[in-house]
Structure 1
Amino acid sequence: MSAGRLLSVLLLLQSRGRMSAQGLADELGVSLRTAYRDLARLQAAGVPVYAEPGRGGGYQLVDGYHTRLTGMSEGEARALFFAGLPGPAADLGLAAEVAAARLKLLAALPTGLRDEAARTAAVFHLDAPGWYREPEQTPYLPPLVDAVLTRRAVDVRYRRWRAPQEVRRRLRPYGLVLKSGVWYVVAGVKQRIATYRVTQILDAAVCDERFDRPQDFDLAAHWSSYLDDFHARRHTGTATIRLSRRGRRRLPDNVPPEVVRAVESTATAADDEGWVEAVIPIESTEHACGELLRLGVDVEVVAPAELRQAMAAVVGVLARAYGSDRAVQEIGSGDGTSVPCPLRS
């Protein structure tokens, strides 16, 4: 006999009302005889289950009977405090509701499991935003939550990166996604599905217009596909670079993971001075220039020519700004050796 299965029978009757023995057996994947046996054991344990004979009859609990969550395992008690994490709940305007729900769930737990849940809550904390970035202000997130749940359209004024920068759109929000501390709304717009960064919404007003989400729409699957497409469109070319030993060590803190992986998979054998050559993906000349300059003298662009020229131009401006007509030709590598400066004029 499974105590977990008996609890499942009890919770099914509590949540669905009257059920036939065959319905319980089908739901739990057991035989009809086992379902009858489980019902008899519940009755023997003092649970007020009674049978209603005749057509349309079945088994049900006495009106007003509710079980406490005494069947929850230690692992489930721990998992309780991973649901409704306070930061995102506060963003959504649900902090008070989540806190109240947690208190009610705690009150329903027996003492031992209540203590286990409290211990877990004390040693885990979610801080969603990335380093070196303040949490984004999203004053229009609560109305978007309301629109998602009530399936009503929203008129927004949105700021985007290309001209015209401010546009107006009527969104039919299908769902909200929290990615690295940044909220996005996935919405139907005319005949397509688009993604909008919530912090870029300058104004929002929920409309009376109702809409239905496409029956085959799956938010998690859509977001995964969106990310795959984003990464495919993001990198429009490649660059060949040289890296010092220190440059390779510094890579993870200065460039995206895909660039680190590209270096690891394409790097040639190190030369006598410890430099390697590798091919990396780039978004654009301007973006790659800014990204690679973070590595200072530990990187040299070999190709393409326009990226190499852009790097040289920036270094020239910096040299003049700091009162020098040419870049320094030699600098300490930081590990006790001296390396030639790759940013040659």
Structure 2
Amino acid sequence: MKSSRLVSILLLLQTRGRMTAAQLAEELEVSVRTVYRDVEALGAAGVPLYGDAGHAGGYRLLAGYRTRLTGLNADEAEALFLAGAPGAAAQLGLGSVLAAAQLKVRAALPPELRAHADRISGRFHLDAPGWYTEADAHRAPYLTAVADAVWNNRVLNVVYRRWQEPTDVERRLEPYGLVLKAGRWYVVAGPGPRTFRVDQILELTSLEEEFTRPAGFDLPAHWAEYQRGFHERLYRDKAEAVVRLAPGVTLARATRHDGSPAPDGWTTVTVAIESVEHAHAEFLRLGSDVEVLRPAELRARIARTVTELAARYGGSPAAGDD
């Protein structure tokens, strides 16, 4: 709609400064001729907007001019308040800032859109951590310091705990950005870039040294590519297990089904596994609905665990366990 496009032009010029007609047209996905008409309409409406000719020219607003956010439609207002993540903002030390920003936006909305925003806030709540995660399980005491380094392009020296030996290592990080994934914070940092869990940082020293952020680095695009690579690496060149599954039970990682179901309804499938340790825990979750046939090491390990559980639960409870 034209009214929405006019507001978009205002907000673009307000936030980015001078822009050419071609840049505005590309941003709004319209023709340059349409931009010319819209600019004329804004001028006729009294908006202090003017253009400069020449190679370095373009349109800009008169210095100091600001528009209220009355151009938001209902869907945009709802999305704005749904997108707020108070828990994440609080962890970054920005809880009060987010609350103040939402209050200002709410005050700038016309009454009918304010009602929409209040409605969405009262009906939807975003809770990023997993359901079975304890409140302090993913505490990251150095999160605020990492966020400050991201914002100010400061180099960090950290002691980081990783899963392989040696477990505790020193690293020099040039933090490009922070990502919140399933309740955990990750910092994407150079050189590389590489990804580190913030809650695994044991010690941190912020240096006075500044780094130069790579030109054109796109954090969302990098994270999307990192996730794709992670899932590809997860089961690449990994082992396989052959298991029998009870009727109605399926496994998403099954690579093939070995024949038709047996007379008792059980099916035999081959499954990609990351490791014997990981598969041991995963298959135990299925209880009696799965039987591991191969590899022998995995079958023997599960058998030992089941034997230990049977012994533990086969007798009377220990004293004091009423």
Per the normalisation by structure 1, the TM-score is: 0.78
Query: Counterpart of 1:30 in structure 2: which amino acid?
Result: S
Q: In percent, how many aligned pairs have the same letter?
A: 52
In structure 2, the partner of 1:152 is 154
In the TM superposition, residue 323 of structure 1 has moved relative to its aligned partner by 5.0
In structure 2, the partner of 1:308 is 299
In the TM superposition, residue 120 of structure 1 has moved relative to its aligned partner by 0.8
SS at match of 2:206: strand
Q: Distance in 1 between matches of 2:297 and 2:50?
A: 82
Change beyond 3 A, Cα 1:40–1:213: closer
In the TM superposition, residue 152 of structure 1 has moved relative to its aligned partner by 0.9
In the TM superposition, residue 220 of structure 1 has moved relative to its aligned partner by 2.7
Q: Pick the aligned partner of 1:177 from 176, 179, 185.
A: 179
Q: Pick the aligned partner of 1:271 from 262, 277, 295.
A: 262
After superposition, the CA RMSD in angstroms is 3.1
Q: Distance in 1 between matches of 2:270 and 2:41?
A: 68
Q: Distance in 1 between matches of 2:309 and 2:83?
A: 50
Contact between 2:82 and 2:125, CA under 8 Å: does it hold in 1? no
Kindly name which structure, 1 or 2, has the bigger radius of gyration based on alpha carbons.
1
In the TM superposition, residue 51 of structure 1 has moved relative to its aligned partner by 7.2
Q: Distance in 2 between matches of 1:171 and 1:294?
A: 38
Structure 1 regions of 5+ residues with no counterpart? 252-259, 325-345
In structure 2, the partner of 1:343 is none
Query: Counterpart of 1:85 in structure 2: which amino acid?
Result: A
SS at match of 2:193: strand
In the TM superposition, residue 124 of structure 1 has moved relative to its aligned partner by 0.9
In structure 2, the partner of 1:234 is 234
Q: Distance in 1 between matches of 2:18 and 2:226?
A: 44
Query: Counterpart of 2:289 in structure 1: which amino acid?
Result: D
In the TM superposition, residue 214 of structure 1 has moved relative to its aligned partner by 2.4
SS at match of 2:155: strand
SS at match of 1:65: coil
Q: Distance in 2 between matches of 1:287 and 1:15?
A: 49
In the TM superposition, residue 35 of structure 1 has moved relative to its aligned partner by 4.8
Change beyond 3 A, Cα 1:285–1:115: same
What does 1:242-281 align with in structure 2 at a 5 Å threshold?
A: 242-245=244-247, 248=249, 260-263=251-254, 266=257, 268-281=259-272
Q: Distance in 2 between matches of 1:303 and 1:54?
A: 74
Verify: 1:296 aligned to 2:287, yes or no: yes
Q: Distance in 2 between matches of 1:261 and 1:17?
A: 51
Q: Distance in 1 between matches of 2:88 and 2:169?
A: 28
Contact between 1:244 and 1:275, CA under 8 Å: does it hold in 2? yes
Contact between 2:255 and 2:270, CA under 8 Å: does it hold in 1? no
Change beyond 3 A, Cα 1:262–1:114: same
Aligned residues: 310
Query: Counterpart of 2:173 in structure 1: which amino acid?
Result: L
Query: Counterpart of 2:222 in structure 1: which amino acid?
Result: H
Change beyond 3 A, Cα 1:308–1:8: closer
Per the normalisation by structure 2, the TM-score is: 0.83
Change beyond 3 A, Cα 1:114–1:323: closer
In structure 2, the partner of 1:10 is 10
In structure 2, the partner of 1:82 is 82
Q: Distance in 2 between matches of 1:316 and 1:213?
A: 56
What does 1:44-59 align with in structure 2 at a 5 Å threshold?
A: 44-49=44-49
In the TM superposition, residue 313 of structure 1 has moved relative to its aligned partner by 2.4
In structure 2, the partner of 1:129 is 129
Change beyond 3 A, Cα 1:294–1:109: same
Structure 2 regions of 5+ residues with no counterpart? 316-322
Q: Distance in 2 between matches of 1:201 and 1:39?
A: 52
Q: Distance in 2 between matches of 1:285 and 1:22?
A: 58
In structure 2, the partner of 1:328 is none
Contact between 2:157 and 2:204, CA under 8 Å: does it hold in 1? yes
What does 1:82-101 align with in structure 2 at a 5 Å threshold?
A: 82-101=82-101
In the TM superposition, residue 58 of structure 1 has moved relative to its aligned partner by 7.3
Verify: 1:68 aligned to 2:68, yes or no: yes
In structure 2, the partner of 1:287 is 278
CA deviation profile, 1:229-276 (whole Å, cap 9, x unmatched): 333443321101011126x1xx6xxxxxxxx22349636433222211
Contact between 1:238 and 1:280, CA under 8 Å: does it hold in 2? yes
In structure 1, the partner of 2:208 is 208
Change beyond 3 A, Cα 1:178–1:63: closer
In the TM superposition, residue 137 of structure 1 has moved relative to its aligned partner by 0.9
Q: Pick the aligned partner of 1:187 from 189, 193, 202.
A: 189
Contact between 1:21 and 1:36, CA under 8 Å: does it hold in 2? yes
Contact between 1:241 and 1:301, CA under 8 Å: does it hold in 2? yes
In the TM superposition, residue 289 of structure 1 has moved relative to its aligned partner by 1.8
Q: Distance in 2 between matches of 1:238 and 1:159?
A: 29
